[in-house]
Structure 1
Amino acid sequence: MKEQKKQPELRFRGFTDDWEQVEFQSKIKLIGGATPFKDNPEYWNGNIVWLSSQEIKNKYVSNGTYTITKKAIIDNKTRMVDAGTPLIVTRSGILAKRFPLSIPTIDVAINQDIKALLFDQSKLNVNFFVAELQSKEAYILKKIIKTGTTVQSVNLPDLNKLIISVVSDFKEQEKIGDFFQKLDHTIALQQRKLELLKKLKRGYLQQVLPAKNEFIPNIRFVNYFNDWKYITLSDLFKYEQPAEYIVKSTAYDVNFKIPVLTAGKSFILGYTDEKFGIKLASSDAPAIIFDDFTVSSHFVDFPFKVKSSALKILSLQNNQNNFYFAYNILKRINYKPQNHSRHWISKFSQFSVAIPTPDEQQNIGNFIKIIDNTLLLQEDKIKKIIDLKKGYLQKLFL
């Protein structure tokens, strides 16, 4: 194959050499692993970290759900991989949306759904190459991921033919690799802050809401002394089964601007221009969309329509109750439907919840909302940094 030479849109100062474009397989060797026989106790709970696809999420990985022994390595086809060797997921449902890639910080073993990428790291900088692959994620998802009967997988022959960029000047590779490494560290730091905020919220909820069968919480706002009273969820909420609406566009514009909601992960299925039957949720009277399939709920504060028989719209029975407080009460209900039941909503009367006076509800609701607003700001900060990284990935690579 004749090599092509190009330059990216954006360069660091002092670098002017052309970039070479070559096939993936000319620089990278793929090796896979395996799962040791699970019924052999001599293979498990050793001191070797064994990774499966579920552990390949963040840029760096240092531990897994399971550990294995040296005997498992000797007797099986699982492989040991040196620290600093990039790992990709080659078979998983996550490949429908993402192309997971991680760098282990310790020596690890891998299973059959992971491939390790081996190359001469004295000629190809690891962080540079990882960013290179990340810059091609959209192409990989569209052209190289194939859909099987159960899960998605990487078409390895196509991956081997993927055109990658190689910079002959190793110092430029290091410069670009270090830049993206710093961005990744910033993202990881902000994500840790987000997790700490979520943990803080969980802790506060345990303190400001009573435990099961209790009548007062551990922490209260001043001047509140009365016991909370127990009512059923059906006393707290009323619900309706919405009609189904037709999606007329998958994109928002001036003609199609009313979201059509559905069950499942997509939630917003598309948009429509139909105004009949619109549910207008405002800050004074928001709504909860309740998903009967997954027993999950979404707090909605915008106009919407619904296209799903599995969704219900919840509103308060008594407007004196605080909606934000009630929403967090609902999310505390711990119930798993049996046999994929679609009728959890009919069990409302079976669940009792403790509520205080409307005034105390207002204080608790406002307090939780402050925390949630902080969470939203942190999530937005992370999104902006990730979007910034995506922009640089497109400009700093071919």
Structure 2
Amino acid sequence: MAKEEKKAPKLRFNGYTNDWERKEFSKIVQRISTANSNKSLPNIEFEDIDSEIGTLNKSTSQLYKRKKGILFEKNNILFGKLRPYLKKWFLADFSGIAVGDFWVLKPSDNQARFVYYLIQTSSFYNVSNITSGTKMPRSDWKLVSKTKFYIPMKLSEKHKLGMILYLIDKLINLHERKCEELALIKKALLQKLFPKKDEFKPEVRYKNFSDTWEQRKFFDNIEKVIDFRGRTPKKLGMEWSAEGYTALSALNVKDGYIDFTADVHYANQDLYDKWMAGNDLYKGQVLFTTEAPMGNVAQVPDNRKYVLSQRTIAFNVDETKVTNDFLAVLLRSQNVQHTLKSLASGGTAQGVSQKSLSQLKVILSINPKEQQEIGNFFNYFDSLITLHQRKLEKLKQLKKFLLQNMFI
């Protein structure tokens, strides 16, 4: 007789060996439906919650809208039933009014954090994502409430599981705020270290530099543009590989760094040779996204070979006129970004072509030492942002791993 499979997650805290039990979701939580329009309580609407983050994208001081909705209390859970694939959820740390498409859930045993992470698991998502409606699909409460989920029998295990994931979320939020703060500081420094519109000297300069900057056509600084937009493995009669040379596209070329976890594709040697055709990218070379999104700038991080993929181009600079590091910062300066938007074409997904870039004029330092000082400074600043971004991605991956392995 085959041994019955143990009903327990792969990963558990020490001291817990008993099976988990199955319970209908309606026994795990109570769904609150008390209508309320208390003018002294903040209102939270569907769009106020960031997808897959569980935080508000507005401060509570902005949320007093005096609307009618469902009363929620501290430690209630708001689950966005509208378009459930957007994954909107919020663990309340104050009382308020949930306006619109929310289920307000009160855990039956006060283990709010455990339930909060239960609704983020794939097992819950698979059920809640079975929707009714077409234009505005919503989760089906009758189906979800009757679905059975595995949960620990001991409250202490629920508490520990909820606590560890809660602490990881706190770290994720901390690094997200750090990245946002660094990005704001960087934006302010770009405004100070580059001339304002119609001016030829920056407001802040390094010591011993006082020369007036010079206006040039953008392409006067560029020897060659490497542009393989529209090229795909299929058009070359080939396919992506499981490993090999990483493809750089508009989805993984971010503002100041390469996200190697996004849009991951690889080319084998044959595809690389046919695709790049001798146009090897080199460390420090400037990359620019032309569309969706338009205007992201990063530099090739090392001398490993890369495939230049969708909606991304690279520049070979005229080293007598501009350094790669300075060019990368110049393209992200406020004046250049504003000009690029004015040159862009398209509706929702704006883009720029080489023809558009030929109309771009830039103001830049004529002193290579000043260029290098500015480039070095922002390289250091970008490294700080990248450091926190990598920590953030690792924490998100850790959370994903724990959700997959600490629940059934």
TM category, shorter? 0.7 to 0.9
- Residue 319 in 1 paired to residue 328 in 2? no
Asked whether the equivalents of residues 8 and 19 of structure 2 are also in contact (C-alpha less than 8 Å), the reply is yes
Partner amino acid, structure 1, of 2:294: V
2:257 equivalent in structure 1: none
Shift of residue 239 of structure 1? Answer: 3.5
2:201 to 203, 206, 216: 216
Moved more, 144-153 or 322-331: 144-153
How many Å separate the matches in 1 of 2:295 and 2:17?
A: 54
Shift of residue 85 of structure 1? Answer: 1.2
2:393 to 383, 387, 394: 383
Q: What's the CA shift string for 1:119-152, capped at 9, x where partnerless?
A: 32xx140111112233x23x45556425876676
Show structure 1 runs of 5+ residues with no match: 37-42
Q: Secondary structure at the match of 1:216?
A: coil
Q: Secondary structure at the match of 2:331?
A: helix
1:100 equivalent in structure 2: 88
Shift of residue 227 of structure 1? Answer: 1.2
- Residue 68 in 1 paired to residue 65 in 2? yes
1:283 equivalent in structure 2: 283
How many equivalent residue pairs?
370
1:39 equivalent in structure 2: none
How many Å separate the matches in 1 of 2:207 and 2:382?
A: 22
1:59 to 41, 51, 54: 54
Q: What's the CA shift string for 1:94-124, capped at 9, x where partnerless?
A: x55x62321122222233333222332xx14
Asked whether the equivalents of residues 9 and 396 of structure 1 are also in contact (C-alpha less than 8 Å), the reply is yes
Q: What's the CA shift string for 1:237-292, capped at 9, x where partnerless?
A: 454542612155566325xx4527367999747333312241422115x2424223
Partner amino acid, structure 1, of 2:296: S
- Residue 347 in 1 paired to residue 356 in 2? yes
2:370 to 354, 360, 364: 360
Asked whether the equivalents of residues 124 and 173 of structure 1 are also in contact (C-alpha less than 8 Å), the reply is no
1:89 equivalent in structure 2: 80
Partner amino acid, structure 1, of 2:43: V
CA RMSD after TM alignment: 3.6
How many Å separate the matches in 2 of 1:30 and 1:251?
A: 48
Matches within 5 A, 1:21-170: 21-30=22-31, 48-57=42-51, 58-61=53-56, 63=60, 66-69=63-66, 72-73=67-68, 78-92=69-83, 96=85, 99-120=87-108, 123-134=109-120, 136-137=121-122, 139-141=123-125, 144-145=128-129, 153-170=138-155
2:242 equivalent in structure 1: 252
1:373 to 378, 383, 390: 383
1:171 to 149, 156, 179: 156
TM-score after normalising by structure 1: 0.78
How many Å separate the matches in 1 of 2:154 and 2:124?
A: 26
Q: Secondary structure at the match of 1:187?
A: helix
Show structure 2 runs of 5+ residues with no match: 254-260
Asked whether the equivalents of residues 280 and 306 of structure 2 are also in contact (C-alpha less than 8 Å), the reply is yes
Partner amino acid, structure 2, of 1:296: G
Moved more, 265-274 or 321-330: 265-274
How many Å separate the matches in 1 of 2:115 and 2:14?
A: 20
How many Å separate the matches in 2 of 1:267 and 1:393?
A: 20
How many Å separate the matches in 2 of 1:33 and 1:54?
A: 21
TM-score after normalising by structure 2: 0.76
1:40 equivalent in structure 2: none
How many Å separate the matches in 2 of 1:33 and 1:354?
A: 61
Asked whether the equivalents of residues 33 and 71 of structure 2 are also in contact (C-alpha less than 8 Å), the reply is no
How many Å separate the matches in 1 of 2:262 and 2:155?
A: 45
Change (3 A) 1:268 1:188: closer
Asked whether the equivalents of residues 125 and 174 of structure 1 are also in contact (C-alpha less than 8 Å), the reply is yes
Asked whether the equivalents of residues 299 and 328 of structure 2 are also in contact (C-alpha less than 8 Å), the reply is no
Q: What's the CA shift string for 1:347-373, capped at 9, x where partnerless?
A: 334443221122211111111011111
